[in-house]
A and B are shown apart, each in its own frame.
Chain A
Amino acid sequence: MPEQPGRSAIEVRGVRKVFGSGESQVAALDTVSVSIRENEFFTLLGPSGCGKTTLLRLIAGFDFPSAGEILLHGQDIAPLPPFKRPVNTVFQNYALFPHMTVAENIGFGLEMLGKPKAEVKARVADMLKLVKMEALSNRRTSQISGGQQQRVALARALAPQPKVLLLDEPLSALDFKLRKEMQIELKRLQHQTGITFIFVTHDQEEALTMSDRIAVMSSGKILQVGTPWDIYDKPAERFVADFIGETNFLTAAISGMANGKARATLKSGATIDATVAEGFQPKDNATVVVRPEHAKLTSGKGDLSGTVENIVYFGTDTHIHVRLDSSETFTVRQQNTRSAGCGFERGDKVGISIGNDAAQVLRD
């Protein structure tokens, strides 16, 4: 996906958030800086406890940063209470008002903004149409299904036309099929409304399929920001490579660094081309990652050699786990065909060849 240059909708500058005090102090966010562009579908991705929800809550205004600035279109909003920020949230469990109907929920924000009744009514009708909930406008929120509640929560947050929409794991409560549907629905809504979406999730697949850009977070820090393609194919750190998809880690000596490329000499003695992560400091034993689908298994000699340890069939493809002669493990993913098996058996001596554009050198 091409990067679209644009003004930044949200600019987070050196934000720290510390909970507790004294000995029990915990830094939920450790000096985070990130810039989120206008009209972007931006995802904060990380395991639970990584600080992604904390960052979202700081942007929404439910918590205030211990240090740093949060700019919305260039204006510092960090000291503003949530009801003075043109930012709306879709909560993890929707947080729909149980004492109001679907339409009342959607109209609540507009009403609080003091919009005239007729305008509220018209906008609620638009929103109901946008999320395809016209028929249920007078239902109580307890009388509709989880997926429908999700749509109402979206409509409610979009109705006041916020500058930025925050989504806190909004799909996590839905079952698999509904989640897939809502992923597409969310993309459609983002496209249609042109509002900047900041989406929080721990689901790497969700992040890859929906986002324009992803920030991968771990223990209160942003490790890498990039397009899904960047994050998957050019991970900067071990955590990123490990958290997103499956990958193989190899130790190698790096030489001939130029233009973000280098030669990596593996333990087997073979030398392969690799791209190098930004901020890489030359050192003796660097880590090289190769995705399982970017390597090829051969019965002859390859860049690496080893013994087939296990073969796992996945329907679309087969994973072949190889114990390398250097005692590291390496997994190769092979596309299946109908006519034949994978062509290898447990205990086979095999070679692994790594393509020209398959390896990435990590910075840590």
Chain B
Amino acid sequence: MASAKQVAKQAERREIRDRWLLSAPALIIIFLAATGPLLIVVIYSFLTPGPYGDVVWKFSTDGWLSVLMQRDIFDDTLAFADAHLSIFWRSAKLSFLTTILTLLFGFPTAYFIATRPARQRDIWLFLITIPFWTNLLIRTFAIQEVIRNEGIVNTVLIKLGIISQPIQMMFTDFALMVGMTYVYLPLMVLPLYASMEKIDFRLVEAGYDLYANRFQVLRRVIVPLVKPGIIAGSILVFIPALGAYVTPRVLGGSKNMMLGNLIELQFGQGRNWPLGSALSLSLMAIVMVALLLYVRSVGGRGGAHG
């Protein structure tokens, strides 16, 4: 009996060892690709900035402190400064607005595609994904071409005699919203479509049959059924929007900075890599907290769906 137990134990040990060996490639890649770089950013955020960028290997919490405070040049005292905070707030606000706008435009689009005959749907989906084939920068410049002072919109409006002076759209939040909504729309449409495609449209008929008008069917039947898609789409849009860099840079100009631009600034002209690292990690923290809140608010009710 004892020997049988021993044999079993040995087999178990061997199995555990094999399991580790087999998962080693995956673990190494996960470490090198995700954890490793992140670790470097964490370490950099606790170092001292070098005179020409880069870092000096000397421990300092200044990077983190500078996220919300400013050190006086003369007497070296720390004082609260809202410059960064206001950019954080602005980024969150604009990203939220982008999410709402993509949802408003994406919902009817996805519904339209989902209600086409099966063969037509593929064509529409294909059209939705076409913008992905073009570089983001080029797409953003294309938007600029449309809305700048000498751009298509202004030229046409002036030619038609509707306006005499071009409307200033570039370098405004409006331009930013146009650009961000355009760029992130497919990321909203695709998960929405994936949810809508699964809807049993007899449920919509059942809604109509039970005296719900079009708006009530939308609110009480379709939206609850598409909820997973709305959540997935919102996450897919909100998170990259929060760290957006190219679009605010091209369309928003230097005054309308977002978080991505602020971080870039620290690694470029600002020559403050530790602050840049700290800002990046703060952004990550915000995203994680937002995600956690989201998952919890949905998860609680989602579980009961069975």
Contact = CB atoms under 8 A, between A and B. Distances in A.
Interface string B137-177: 00000000000000000000000000000000000000000
Interface stretch (B107-115, B204-212, B261-269): B204-212
Contacts of B304: 140
Interface string B219-254: 011001100000000000000000000000000000
A89 B210 CA distance: 8
Contacts of B205: 60, 62, 82, 89, 91, 95
B306 interface: yes
A255 interface: no
B208 A82 contact: yes
Given A62-B205, A89-B206, A95-B202, A83 B212 contact: yes
A160 interface: yes
A269 interface: no
A83 B213 contact: yes
Interface string A6-36: 0000000000000000000000000000000
A61 B210 CA distance: 12
B285 interface: no
A112 interface: yes
Given A140-B304, A143-B306, A95 B206 contact: yes
Contacts of A87: 209
A96 to B, nearest CB: 8
A99 B210 contact: no
A112 B216 contact: yes
B305 A98 contact: yes
Given A97-B207, A98-B305, A109-B211, 10 more contacts: A81-B208, A83-B211, A84-B211, A87-B209, A91-B205, A95-B203, A97-B206, A108-B207, A112-B213, A157-B210
B197 to A, nearest CB: 16
29 contacts: A60-B205, A61-B209, A62-B205, A62-B209, A82-B205, A83-B208, A83-B211, A83-B212, A84-B211, A87-B209, A89-B209, A91-B205, A93-B202, A95-B202, A95-B203, A95-B206, A96-B206, A97-B203, A97-B207, A97-B221, A108-B212, A109-B210, A112-B211, A112-B212, A112-B213, A140-B305, A142-B306, A143-B306, A156-B210
B200 interface: yes
Contacts of B206: 89, 91, 95-97
Contact of B209 (A88, A93, A143): A88
B225 to A, nearest CB: 6
B211 A113 contact: yes
B62 to A, nearest CB: 52
A246 B207 CA distance: 41
Interface in A58-83: 60-62, 81-83
Contact of B210 (A62, A93, A160): A160
A160 B221 contact: no
Interface pairs A-B: 8 shortest CB-CB: A109-B210, A112-B211, A95-B206, A95-B202, A82-B208, A99-B224, A112-B212, A89-B209
Q: Chain A interface secondary structure, helix, strand, loop or mixed? A: mixed
A83 B305 CA distance: 27
Contact of A60 (B203, B209, B220, B224): B209
Nearest to A109: B210
Interface in B71-121: none
Contacts of B207: 97, 108
B210 A108 contact: yes
Contact of B225 (A82, A98, A108): A98
Contacts of A113: 211
A160 B220 CA distance: 18
A142 to B, nearest CB: 5
B211 A140 contact: no
B71 to A, nearest CB: 54
A82 B304 CA distance: 31
Most chain-A Cβ atoms within 10 A of its Cβ — which of B209, B304, B306? Answer: B209
Contacts of A143: 306
Contact of A99 (B200, B213, B225): B225
Contacts of A157: 209-210
B302 to A, nearest CB: 10
A140 B302 CA distance: 12
Most chain-A Cβ atoms within 10 A of its Cβ — which of B205, B208, B210? Answer: B210
Nearest to A89: B209
Nearest to A93: B202
A113 B209 CA distance: 11
Interface string A138-181: 00101100000000000011001000000000000000000000
A140 B306 CA distance: 8
Contacts of A99: 224-225, 305
A91 to B, nearest CB: 6
A102 B203 CA distance: 15
Contact of A95 (B200, B212, B216, B305): B200
Contacts of B210: 83, 88, 108-109, 112, 156-157, 160
